[in-house]
Chain A
Amino acid sequence: MDLLRLLTCGSVDDGKSTLIGRLLHDSQLIYEDVLASLEADSATQGSAGDQVDLALLMDGLRAEREQGITIDVAYRYFSTARRTFIIADTPGHPQYTRNMATGASTCDLAVILIDARHGVLPQTKRHSYIASLLGIGQVVVAVNKMDLVGWSQDRFTEICEDYRSFAKPLGFGQPYFLPMSALLGDNVVDASGNLGWFDGPPLLEHLETVDIDARVELEHFRMPVQLVFRPDANFRGYAGTIASGVLRPGDEVAALPLGLISTVERIATFDGDLDVAGPGRAVTVTLVDDIDVSRGDLLVTPGSEPQRAHDLDAMVVWMSEASAESGSSYLLQTANTVSNCTIRNVRHRVDINTGAHEQTPGLGLNDIGHCVITSDRELAFDAYSVNRATGSFVLVDRLTNATVAAGMIIGAASAWNRTPDAALVRQRSEISDAERAIRFGQQPCTILLTGLTAAGKSTLATALERELFDRGKVSIRLDGENVRMGISRDLGFSTQERSENLRRVSEVARLVNGQGLIAIAAMVAPDRDVRQRARDLVGVDRYVVVFVDTPIEVCRERDPHGLYAMADSGEIPRFPGVSADFDRPTDADLRVDTSTQDVDECIDAIVRMLTERGFLRGPSTP
């Protein structure tokens, strides 16, 4: 795209405003009279000595100028022959998380300024975390004030390494590290003679050439319907801006929430009908069939539909003086809907300097927290990490109409995140763990046999149960298929439902472990994150993963119920190993392969491992 929206972040003293002033100045786009008035202002307010204080250009409001800090988002515009730029300048002051999140929400790229003298500071981490949270994929780490460290390459390298080590989990890909002096103009628009050891392009050239198109989502069509146009009896059009995906006349679309399907007739615009329209286009779509579509509906490609739920897991940036607590109610506004919602639970607050999770009863101004939010209508959405437009929302106070928070949807909230009612009290047993260990001659544990369909999990689970029984041990077998006939009878095979099934089995396993018994769970459990939640729930010390790593070709040959064939034909959607991912465990305690090992060999290996871990003996006598 020809338009790059970028965010600059740094603290009061990092020289951020100076950098922007320098960009505008050196690309010769500061008009002379603005410059003249700056020169007059600098004499009374500036902090740059006799030089023109370029920072004053950015600090618009009078009160802020007097305080010497920028306290809101200011937008600046300039263009070069190659690209047009919108700069969102946001403050580095610790209190203003809110403003930075606001600025970041529309940006493709962030320039994070570091003062070469001070290196990576808590605020650097803060800015990087917020940029990452708001989904900015491109980062320039500008190590500024190189003139004040003698243009030292060693210092620059040291800062880059510091930054890399903490920023690894933030998912920026490859940040562009750039040494510069904004005050003197080195490496801003022109390459620097003082930094001869650095051979990358200066900032402006990088901004002109960096690839921002790669992140444009073309796969899944989404268009929130803003308005329905019926100018006359012959025309019924749905107006909106395409959030993602590509639309052509003749394409099928489904209108959510009802899910009615029709075919695109025209993509109408003032400038004539379009043959194709992609993300960012404001269009009016007409459909072949007269189906019921209204404002708030979401047009999508049938088959690649968004998630739907009443309960959301979301990261929330709190922007109001009035704090949020569990139970607080607001209006929830997404790209296509407004609904009533309640913050059911604040799972934790993020310390944005360290990334640590803190327990908190609520969220205050500038807090960022992980919340579970319940809406009074079913929402259609994507994860924010997948689609900014259909994964974001704001919360609005119903009385004052103020926008109080911004949210980024993680996904449908599941029971994993739900905190039991505070009024519930756990009833304790009168039998101690030690007594149980003596009675049963074992230490309780949970063995998860995970693997593809037809890998042999159930067979091994049954054989293991037999072997333990014969050794006088007491176990309970929880077969994925069996539980679906009972306690999980209400669940299907979507990602969320598979997750919920494993959660229920894990909860049962935890209960029986608490009674001193061994639990054997045989489940596909395809999702790594969900397995980790199961591990955390059961307890790391008593959780054992056995990866039944039978090659998929062998599984397909066995396939007693013809499930693979049904998955191939699409009759069963989202089938792990075929049309959905199976995350191979990398942290399994044991790997077995039923195509090369017979059942006895596998069971021997499992029992040996359990014995070595000490699960198959009672309390050791002193």
Chain B
Amino acid sequence: MSATLPAELRLTHLQQLEAEAIGIMREVVAQCERPVMLYSIGKDSSVLLHLARKAFFPGRIPFPLLHVDTTWKFREMISFRQRMADEIGFDLIVHTNAEGVAQGINPFDHGSKNYTDIMKTQALRQALDAGRFDAAFGGARRDEEKSRAKERVFSFRDAHHRWDPKNQRPELWNLYNGRVNQGESIRVFPMSNWTELDVWQYIHVEQIPIVPLYFAAERPVVERDGVLIMVDDDRFVFDEGEVAEQRLVRFRTLGCYPLSGAIESTATTLPEIIGEMLVATRSEREGRVIDFDQSGSMEQKKREGYF
């Protein structure tokens, strides 16, 4: 905005956000004994992974990545996960709630609330307990949802992984307090200050690989209550009279395929996606069915330990 700072020292807002995230990741590695990065394979996770590579360059990423696999992820996500692990070379932990699988828990018969609780929230707790992790990185952003606007960068969880919005540590400057007692942990959100637009711009500028599902393509979908659900495999349970139809769609967020809504789009390149973003009239989480279960539902899930 002014000439008081030499051009060579000026940082773009993406460079500033990047530096902040790198500083946060390094701080966690310095302060915590057993950090882990939650890797959901989505675009935010892809950015987080990229930031981790930058933060610890020229070394390897000094913590494992954890993927909570509900067994209902898009097939393309799982193949992408493998490709990334092969190309980048990180330690990958894949955890599935075996009890949930044994009970045949699925999103069609058990409702999104129960399913998410058992296959995601419970599974995540199991994996964190098993690894005795005292810090877990996540790609959540404050702009995603109202209750996240107040989330700390270092978010304290008790021994039961619970988040108490009234009992969070004050966070000033870039001084992060990652101290925990036995069994307690910290969830860390290095991308707290990023917006969805920042994420897309950064992916574009940095040429970060992402799952192809983010780009528009002809895909088989079913329209339910105004939400487009992709038929990703033969486990899909059709309601009476439903048939899959081919539509040109893409996804703004990825999760379990029966719970991820697609949007109709012709954007097949990042600039086109960003172009759609700039005229976006739908906020990102609308595509996620779970948020509409009950009033204040995300806040409720977070208290219970959902990421």
Q: Which A residues form the contact surface with B (CB < 8 A)?
A: 1-3, 31-34, 57-58, 60-62, 72-77, 79, 82-84, 86, 98-99, 101-102, 105-106, 208-214, 216, 218, 226-227, 229-231, 235, 237, 239-241, 246, 268-271, 275-276, 278-282, 284, 295, 319, 331, 333-335, 388-389, 392-394, 396, 401-403, 406
Q: Which of A76, A209, A284, A319 contacts B57 (CB 8 A)?
A: A284
The CA of A86 and the CA of B198, in the complex, are separated in Å by 12
Q: Which of A31, A34, A62, A280 contacts B11 (CB 8 A)?
A: A280
Q: Which residues of B contact A271 (CB under 8 A)?
A: 54
Structural contact, A211 and B2, CB atoms closer than 8 A: yes
Q: Which residues of B contact A31 (CB under 8 A)?
A: 280-283
Q: Which of A83, A212, A268, A392 contacts B173 (CB 8 A)?
A: A392
Q: Which of B152-179 contact A (CB under 8 A)?
A: 165, 169-175, 177, 179
Q: Which of B8, B174, B281, B286 contacts A335 (CB 8 A)?
A: B174
Q: Which of B9, B170, B174 contacts A389 (CB 8 A)?
A: B174
Q: Which residues of B contact A61 (CB under 8 A)?
A: 146-147, 150, 165, 299
Q: Which of A86, A276, A333, A394 contacts B8 (CB 8 A)?
A: A276
The CA of A243 and the CA of B29, in the complex, are separated in Å by 20
B102 at the A/B interface (Cβ < 8 Å)?
Answer: no
28 example contacts (A-B, Cβ-Cβ < 8 A) are as follows: A1-B11, A2-B12, A2-B13, A3-B16, A33-B282, A33-B283, A33-B286, A57-B146, A58-B149, A60-B148, A61-B165, A73-B150, A75-B192, A77-B195, A79-B197, A83-B13, A209-B1, A216-B9, A231-B58, A241-B19, A271-B54, A279-B9, A282-B22, A388-B173, A393-B175, A394-B177, A396-B179, A401-B179
Structural contact, B177 and A396, CB atoms closer than 8 A: yes
Closest to B283 in A: A31
Q: Which of B5, B56, B173, B295 contacts A229 (CB 8 A)?
A: B56
Structural contact, A77 and B4, CB atoms closer than 8 A: no
Structural contact, A402 and B169, CB atoms closer than 8 A: yes
Q: Which of A83, A105, A276 contacts B172 (CB 8 A)?
A: A105
The CA of A521 and the CA of B282, in the complex, are separated in Å by 76
A403 and B23 contact, Cβ closer than 8 Å, known pairs A77-B142, A211-B1: no
Top 7 A-B residue pairs of the complex, sorted by shortest distance between their CB atoms: A278-B9, A31-B283, A231-B59, A213-B5, A105-B172, A282-B22, A3-B13
Shortest C-beta distance, B133 to chain A (Å), equals: 17
A77 and B170 contact, Cβ closer than 8 Å, known pairs A227-B30, A270-B54: no
Q: Which residues of A contact B75 (CB under 8 A)?
A: none
Shortest C-beta distance, B85 to chain A (Å), equals: 19
Shortest C-beta distance, A368 to chain B (Å), equals: 13
The CA of A109 and the CA of B145, in the complex, are separated in Å by 25
A270 and B53 contact, Cβ closer than 8 Å, known pairs A33-B286, A77-B143, A77-B195: yes
Q: Which residues of A contact B192 (CB under 8 A)?
A: 75
B17 at the A/B interface (Cβ < 8 Å)?
Answer: yes
The CA of A73 and the CA of B152, in the complex, are separated in Å by 9
The CA of A218 and the CA of B177, in the complex, are separated in Å by 28
Closest to A395 in B: B177
B82 at the A/B interface (Cβ < 8 Å)?
Answer: no
Q: Which residues of A contact B170 (CB under 8 A)?
A: 98-99, 101-102, 319, 394, 403, 406
The CA of A31 and the CA of B282, in the complex, are separated in Å by 6
The CA of A415 and the CA of B300, in the complex, are separated in Å by 53
B27 at the A/B interface (Cβ < 8 Å)?
Answer: yes
The CA of A83 and the CA of B18, in the complex, are separated in Å by 16
Structural contact, B147 and A214, CB atoms closer than 8 A: no
Structural contact, B149 and A74, CB atoms closer than 8 A: yes
Q: Which residues of B contact A268 (CB under 8 A)?
A: 57-58
Q: Which residues of A contact B83 (CB under 8 A)?
A: none
Shortest C-beta distance, A174 to chain B (Å), equals: 15
The CA of A73 and the CA of B165, in the complex, are separated in Å by 12
A246 and B9 contact, Cβ closer than 8 Å, known pairs A235-B58, A282-B18, A392-B175: yes
Q: Which B residues form the contact surface with A (CB < 8 A)?
A: 1-2, 4-6, 8-13, 15-19, 22-23, 26-27, 29-30, 53-60, 142-143, 146-150, 165, 169-175, 177, 179-181, 192-193, 195, 197-198, 280-283, 286, 295-296, 299
The CA of A226 and the CA of B177, in the complex, are separated in Å by 14
A1 and B5 contact, Cβ closer than 8 Å, known pairs A227-B26, A269-B57, A284-B57: yes
Q: Which residues of A contact B181 (CB under 8 A)?
A: 401
Known: A76-B149, A401-B181. 7 other contacts (CB 8 A): A2-B12, A211-B4, A218-B9, A281-B19, A319-B170, A335-B173, A393-B175
Structural contact, A239 and B150, CB atoms closer than 8 A: no
Closest to B146 in A: A60
Q: Which residues of A contact B169 (CB under 8 A)?
A: 402-403
Shortest C-beta distance, B29 to chain A (Å), equals: 6
Closest to B50 in A: A270
Structural contact, B13 and A84, CB atoms closer than 8 A: yes
Q: Which of B1, B4, B173, B281 contacts A106 (CB 8 A)?
A: B173
The CA of A218 and the CA of B169, in the complex, are separated in Å by 32
Shortest C-beta distance, A10 to chain B (Å), equals: 18
Structural contact, A406 and B282, CB atoms closer than 8 A: no
Structural contact, A72 and B150, CB atoms closer than 8 A: yes
The CA of A99 and the CA of B152, in the complex, are separated in Å by 12
Closest to B26 in A: A226
Q: Which residues of A contact B9 (CB under 8 A)?
A: 216, 218, 246, 276, 278-279
Max chain A C-beta neighbours (<10 A), residue from B5, B17, B146, B295: B146
The CA of A610 and the CA of B284, in the complex, are separated in Å by 79
The CA of A211 and the CA of B240, in the complex, are separated in Å by 62
Q: Which of B15, B57, B150, B173 contacts A60 (CB 8 A)?
A: B150
Shortest C-beta distance, B261 to chain A (Å), equals: 12
Closest to A320 in B: B170
The CA of A605 and the CA of B174, in the complex, are separated in Å by 57
The CA of A216 and the CA of B6, in the complex, are separated in Å by 11
Q: Which residues of B contact A396 (CB under 8 A)?
A: 177, 179
The CA of A83 and the CA of B16, in the complex, are separated in Å by 13
Q: Which residues of B contact A241 (CB under 8 A)?
A: 19, 22-23, 174
The CA of A284 and the CA of B23, in the complex, are separated in Å by 11
Structural contact, B171 and A102, CB atoms closer than 8 A: yes
The CA of A583 and the CA of B71, in the complex, are separated in Å by 73
Structural contact, A75 and B23, CB atoms closer than 8 A: no
Q: Which residues of A contact B57 (CB under 8 A)?
A: 268-270, 284
Q: Which residues of B contact A235 (CB under 8 A)?
A: 58
Q: Which residues of B contact A74 (CB under 8 A)?
A: 149-150
Closest to A106 in B: B173
The CA of A74 and the CA of B147, in the complex, are separated in Å by 9
Structural contact, A394 and B147, CB atoms closer than 8 A: no
Q: Which of B19, B30, B195 contacts A282 (CB 8 A)?
A: B19
Q: Which residues of B contact A34 (CB under 8 A)?
A: 283
Structural contact, A229 and B172, CB atoms closer than 8 A: no
Structural contact, A75 and B1, CB atoms closer than 8 A: no
The CA of A239 and the CA of B27, in the complex, are separated in Å by 10
Q: Which residues of A contact B5 (CB under 8 A)?
A: 1, 213, 216, 218, 278
Q: Which residues of B contact A58 (CB under 8 A)?
A: 149
The CA of A241 and the CA of B15, in the complex, are separated in Å by 12
Structural contact, A1 and B281, CB atoms closer than 8 A: no
The CA of A279 and the CA of B20, in the complex, are separated in Å by 12
Max chain B C-beta neighbours (<10 A), residue from A101, A209, A282, A334: A282
